[in-house]
Amino acid sequence: MSDSFKALVARKDDSHSCDYETLTLDDLDVGDVTVSVDYSTLNFKDGLAITGAAPIAQRQPLILGIDYSGTVIESQHTGFNVGDRVVMNGYGASEYLHGGYAERARVSGDLLVKLPDSISNAQAMAIGTAGYTAMLSVMALQNNGPAPGDGPILVTGAAGGVGSVAISLLADLGYEVVASTGRMSEAEFLKSLGAADTLDRAGLSERGKPLQKEQWAGVVDCVGSHTLANAIAQTRYDGVVTACGLAQGADLPATVMPFILRNVRLQGVDSVQAPMARRLTAWSRLADELDMQKLEALSFDLPFSEVLSRAPDILAGKTRGRAVVDLSR
Ligand SMILES: NC(=O)c1ccc[n+]([C@@H]2O[C@H](COP(=O)([O-])OP(=O)(O)OC[C@H]3O[C@@H](n4cnc5c(N)ncnc54)[C@H](OP(=O)(O)O)[C@@H]3O)[C@@H](O)[C@H]2O)c1
């Protein structure tokens, strides 16, 4: 490849715009590691950034894409050598740092994770921020939370990226998983990932009572709003609820009753600024625990050239599982 490469770039003049552009290495950020990017992905947040539905990009012009995997082609960082395979998740990519929708990236090596041998560059993006957030959610749930056998774990936004990986991880750890989805047509798919049961998300989507019948030993919530409020209200005494998403809304129309009467714990999950030690644990556990056959079943190929046109789909909840974006196509 010559010095120039293709990138998906957001600009903001009078209004938000986003399109493919040809850039050169001089357009990249300052950093001590240069990466030849092989794969990226399409997360919910990428959908927001590409369409401009939320102000994700904090500078312009900006290469979008919150994730990438690739191979180091230049390094002045003591932790990385040419040829190392690396993954970048969040840490400001697509916000105030150039992101992964480009065939080249330059970044501080302090923000990169070396990929475990058993995870290929394509698999790293089938996992992506969504899968790594699913593992962070599982880790948060397991931190003084329910053990397998203590009762069912509810996963909301089940057919999405975080939800589907969370189901696979939790089921393989021995938890009984109940998957809440708006797409009951995906019930068999969710069961193939390990869900013991599925329920229609409509039952969780509307405003509910502050305390409801105790059902869940734990919850992995990707949806927020009334869904999260109802999930908290249905959580058993001493249960743990993790909250990572806002697919339904950023509001939380709940009361303190489940916290003060049932000792329920609400644990936030952030992937973007998660400290390096937690990231390394998450990626190492993904290498050991994620069933790669299930990962393949829940992922699909997406050429880089189609990312722009497919971005609205993920905001409309039409994307199943995880997109693997091949930068060469
Ligand atoms: N905290 C973090 O660091 C972090 C990291 C990654 C993602 N996130 C957030 O986590 C959420 C999930 O991310 P993702 O990448 O998995 O997105 P995704 O693939 O689009 O999945 C979101 C899922 O939520 C459900 N959903 C969508 N609209 C809904 C609505 N109006 N009401 C109820 N459910 C709805 C759908 O599942 P069903 O079709 O099965 O109902 C959809 O597949 C997003 O809000 C994302 O921003 C946060």
pLDDT at 1: 53
Q: Which residues contact 14 (CB under 8 A, 6 or more apart)?
A: none
Ligand 1 centroid to 44 CA: how many Å? 6
The answer to whether residue 319 scores a pLDDT higher than 90 is no
pLDDT one-digit tens code per residue, 94-144: 999 999 999 999 999 999 999 999 999 999 999 999 999 999 999 999 999
Q: Which residues contact 95 (CB under 8 A, 6 or more apart)?
A: 56, 57, 58, 66, 272
Location of each CATH 3.90.180.10 domain in the chain = 4-115+299-326
Chain CA centroid to CA 283, Å: 13
pLDDT at 141: 98
CATH superfamily ID and name for 4-115+299-326: Medium-chain alcohol dehydrogenases, catalytic domain (3.90.180.10)
For the residues 42-47, what does the mean pLDDT come to? 95
Over the range 158-195, which residues count as b (16 or more CB within 10 Å of their CB) and which as e? bbbbbbbbbbbbbbebebbbbbbbbbeebbebbbebbb
Helix (H, G, I), strand (E, B) or coil at 182: coil
| CA distances from residue 263 to 214, 234, 258 in whole angstroms, order as listed | 12, 12, 7
pLDDT one-digit tens code per residue, 165-224: 999 999 999 999 999 999 999 999 999 999 999 999 999 999 999 999 999 999 999 999
Kindly state if the Cβ of 41 falls inside 6 Å of ligand 1: no
Q: Which helix (H) or strand (E) holds 131?
A: helix 121-142
Ligand 1 centroid to 65 CA: how many Å? 17
pLDDT at 2: 61
Q: Which CATH class is domain 129-268?
A: alpha beta
46, 188, 222, 266: which to mutate for ligand 1, most atoms within 8 A of CB?
222
Location of each CATH 3.40.50.720 domain in the chain = 129-268
Q: How many other C-beta atoms can be found within 10 angstroms of the C-beta atom of residue 81?
A: 11
